[in-house]
Amino acid sequence: MIMEKLDKCLACVRSKTDFMPDTALVLGSGLGEYADHVRISEIINYSEIEGFPVSTVAGHKGRFVFGWIQDVPVVIMQGRVHYYEGYPMTDIVLPVRMMGLLGAKKLILTNAAGGVNPDFRPGDLMMITDQIATAVPSPLIGENPDTLGPRFPDMSEIYSRRMQEIIRLEAENLGIGLREGVYVQFTGPAYETPAEVRMCRAWGGDAVGMSTACEAVAARHMGMEICGISCITNMAAGISDKPLSHREVEETADRVADQFSRLITAIVKKV
Ligand code: HPA
């Protein structure tokens, strides 16, 4: 079933483009404008792909952008669907799997996240070094598509150490004070309670969000090399006294868009 749906979507995309990406990039909430930096070859809206999950959140674009960053052929997801929108987890990770099947061997995941580490500040960029996905269902539950990967995949280096080393160097070269830490995924759509955020900290988390970790599991399952950047758009609930709002998330993401863009371009070029 999973492969049938994936093959159908893949055939649909292949009927529209023969572009061969080397690297895949997922742009998180408020970070979608980065796609303006791409020398565009083709754009395919998710709604043009039969059976493809389409975002229901206002302001979330939903399309694939194929093109080049510097000279690297990339496929970019401008907007993603989230588990809280009601799709099964296998649908949520279908786009990432499809980018893998289109030929992308490397994956750069980005997101907006709440800062759980009290040393962080809104506007910080955090390189994801590891993740906790246990608060959401695994996208690998159910029949295992053996052609994608094994039943029990190893996750001991889910975020590539090689890529992390490059990202550290590039951030330093650009003068960007990069944070590092563990990303924790919850389902949302409600922001966490202060008690949940304390739990998250006790677990060893540094940032919390509603995406990414499930995508990383599915991509790693099929052998993609992964890195991730979180934009800390706000302090998580209870870390500061301020109530959380989607508007603050968007405003902070806008504020750091320039730094974010410079870092992503450097990463794409060097990884
Ligand atoms: N919690 C969960 N998801 C988020 C947050 C948060 O504080 N900020 C941005 N996305």
- 271 CB-contact burial (10 Å; exposed 0-12 / middle 13-18 / buried 19+): buried
Question: Could you tell me which of 105, 53, 130, 240 has the C-alpha nearest to residue 248?
Answer: 240
As annotated, the active-site residues are 29, 60, 82, 84-85, 112, 210-211, 234, 246
Say how many Å lie between the CA of residue 141 and the centre of ligand 1: 25
Q: Whose CA is nearest to atom 7 of ligand 1?
A: 114
Confidence label for 1 from pLDDT (cuts 50, 70 and 90): confident
Question: Which 8-state DSSP code applies to residue 157?
Answer: T
Confidence label for 159 from pLDDT (cuts 50, 70 and 90): very high
Q: What is the CATH number of the domain that holds 193?
A: 3.40.50.1580
Residues flanking ligand 1, CB < 6 Å: 112-114, 191-192, 208-210, 233-234, 236, 244, 249
Question: Could you tell me which of 63, 57, 59, 25 has the C-alpha nearest to residue 45?
Answer: 63
Q: Whose CA is nearest to atom 3 of ligand 1?
A: 209
Say how many Å lie between the CA of residue 270 and the centre of ligand 1: 29
Question: Could you tell me which of 23, 15, 19 has the C-alpha nearest to residue 48?
Answer: 15
- 134 CB-contact burial (10 Å; exposed 0-12 / middle 13-18 / buried 19+): exposed
Say how many Å lie between the CA of residue 91 and the centre of ligand 1: 22
Mutate to test the pocket of ligand 1, among 186, 208, 254 (most ligand atoms within 8 A of CB): 208
Atom of ligand 1 nearest to the CA of 210: 3
Whether 181 shows a pLDDT value over 70: the answer reads: yes
The alpha carbons of the chain give a radius of gyration, in whole angstroms, of 17
Whether 58 shows a pLDDT value over 70: the answer reads: no
Say how many Å lie between the CA of residue 10 and the centre of ligand 1: 31
User: At residue 111, what is the residue type?
Assistant: N
Question: Which tens digit of pLDDT belongs to each residue from 197-252?
Answer: 999 999 999 999 999 999 999 999 999 999 999 999 999 999 988 889 888 888 99
Confidence label for 30 from pLDDT (cuts 50, 70 and 90): confident
Q: Classify strands 23-27 and 106-115 as parallel, antiparallel or unpaired.
A: parallel
- 41 CB-contact burial (10 Å; exposed 0-12 / middle 13-18 / buried 19+): middle
Q: Cβ distance 167 to 178 under 8 Å?
A: yes
The two three-digit tokens of residue 2, written as one number? 């999973």
Domains in the chain, number: 1
How confident is the prediction for the chain on average, in pLDDT? Answer: 95
Whether 169 shows a pLDDT value over 90: the answer reads: yes
Residue indicated by tokens 């001991």: 156
* Separation between Cα atoms, residue 262 and residue 118, nearest integer Å: 26
Atom of ligand 1 nearest to the CA of 235: 7
Mutate to test the pocket of ligand 1, among 83, 210, 250 (most ligand atoms within 8 A of CB): 210
Say how many Å lie between the CA of residue 237 and the centre of ligand 1: 9
Mutate to test the pocket of ligand 1, among 206, 244, 256 (most ligand atoms within 8 A of CB): 244
**Predicted model pTM:** 0.96
Look up the domain containing 243 and give its range: 2-270
Whether 59 shows a pLDDT value over 70: the answer reads: no
What interhelical angle do 257-270 and 161-174 show, nearest 10?
A: 130
Q: What are phi and psi of 151, to 5 degrees?
A: -60, -40
